[in-house]
Amino acid sequence: MNTATYAVVPADAVGMPKGRVLGAYLAEARSECLRYLRNPSFMLPIMLFPGLFYLVFGILMAKANGADAARYLLASYGVFGVMSPGLFGFGVSLALERDGGLLTLKRALPMPPGAYLLGKMLMAMAAAGVVMLMLLAMALGLAHLSLTMVQVGGLLLTGVLGVLPFCALGMFVGTLVKGQGAPAVLQLIYLPMSFLSGLWFPLPMLPKALQQVAPLWPSYHLDRIALAVVGMAQGTCWPHALVLAGFTAVFFMLAARRLRRSG
């Protein structure tokens, strides 16, 4: 019996109408959102832990230090919160779907090759936006912070776009490890990175050696932007934004290369 070899051709490379291509992207994004909404045990900890930490450390325990402490921790815990949807929502699910063969199946479908990744990215951005809105509501309603609409909008935009570097890092890790090991590996990245970036304590409270390596982490640069948005840091934001953009591009390219080689 002869063996036939089939080549999978992307949907947008065979003359599919642009409306159908756009519909495929939207359908994949909708599918991704529904999948996570039906799995609250995965998403609720991602979205609720930052709010719990901010309530305890940023509102209740920070009252003695005045409004500046609550403002500072709003930015820092906001960054801490948006890291999680990118790392875990992207990295763990990608590793599990690689193990289960779902990624191979999606490659064989007549759909645009970027729809799968775009769907996960939009889901992570939506989750990051919900986290940031929750923290802002707590800051305005419970901590009674005085924030302008520009600051509120800027912090929300920082969270929604700031999740992308962690999507890229989570995607890269998801191409390297098995599904069962992905949560543990990502925790070993998530928690030390948060601590070493000054998200839990101001950087001057850390040893000098740790302060010097803080700029190596994307969370440090996102935290600098968030602090500047709420008026707690001086200087321009664009150098930090460039670092984050470069980090995102590099890790997305590394992950895409891994996926092309090993699936």
Q: Which tens digits make up the pLDDT trace of 81-99?
A: 999 999 988 888 888 888 7
Go through 54-74 and write b for each residue having 16 or more CB atoms within 10 A of its CB, e for each that does not.
bbebbbeebeeeeeebbbbbb
Instruction: Answer for the pair 168, 185: CB distance below 8 angstroms, yes or no.
Output: no
**Between residues 16 and 209, which one has the greater pLDDT?**
209
Structure confidence at residue 11 (pLDDT) = 47
- Count of structural domains, the chain: 1
Least confident of 44-53, 122-131, 243-252: 44-53
Which residues neighbour 84 within 8 Å (Cβ) at sequence distance 6 or greater?
46, 49, 50, 131, 190
In a domain, 46, yes or no: yes
3-state SS, residue 222: helix
Residue 108: which H helix or E strand, with range?
A: helix 102-108
Check whether 9 has a pLDDT greater than 50: no
This prediction has a pTM of 0.85
Instruction: Answer for the pair 87, 247: CB distance below 8 angstroms, yes or no.
Output: no
Check whether 189 has a pLDDT greater than 80: yes
pLDDT-derived band of residue 8, with 50, 70 and 90 as boundaries?
Answer: very low
Domain of 92, in residue numbers: 14-262
In a domain, 20, yes or no: yes
Q: Give the helix ranges, DSSP H, for 142-237.
A: 149-162, 164-176, 182-196, 208-213, 218-229
Q: In whole angstroms, what separates CA 175 from the centre of its chain?
A: 16
In a domain, 1, yes or no: no
Cα separation, 32 vs 117, whole angstroms: 10
Least confident of 38-47, 164-173, 197-206: 38-47
In a domain, 7, yes or no: no
Structure confidence at residue 159 (pLDDT) = 95
Cα separation, 159 vs 164, whole angstroms: 9
Check whether 52 has a pLDDT greater than 70: yes
In a domain, 167, yes or no: yes
In a domain, 9, yes or no: no
Check whether 123 has a pLDDT greater than 90: no
Cα separation, 50 vs 80, whole angstroms: 7
Structure confidence at residue 5 (pLDDT) = 39
Check whether 15 has a pLDDT greater than 50: yes
Check whether 66 has a pLDDT greater than 80: no
In a domain, 123, yes or no: yes
Q: What is the mean pLDDT of residues 51-77?
A: 84
3-state SS, residue 78: helix
Q: Can you read off the two tokens belonging to residue 120?
A: 């996960």
Cα separation, 31 vs 33, whole angstroms: 5
Structure confidence at residue 110 (pLDDT) = 66
- In the chain the beta strands, taken as DSSP E runs, fall at none
Q: What is the mean pLDDT of residues 1-23?
A: 53
Cα separation, 5 vs 16, whole angstroms: 23
Cα separation, 248 vs 224, whole angstroms: 17
In a domain, 250, yes or no: yes
Question: In a 10 Å sphere around its CB, with 0-12 CB exposed, 13-18 middle and 19+ buried, how is residue 86 labelled?
Answer: buried
Q: Output the average pLDDT for the chain.
A: 84
Structure confidence at residue 26 (pLDDT) = 78
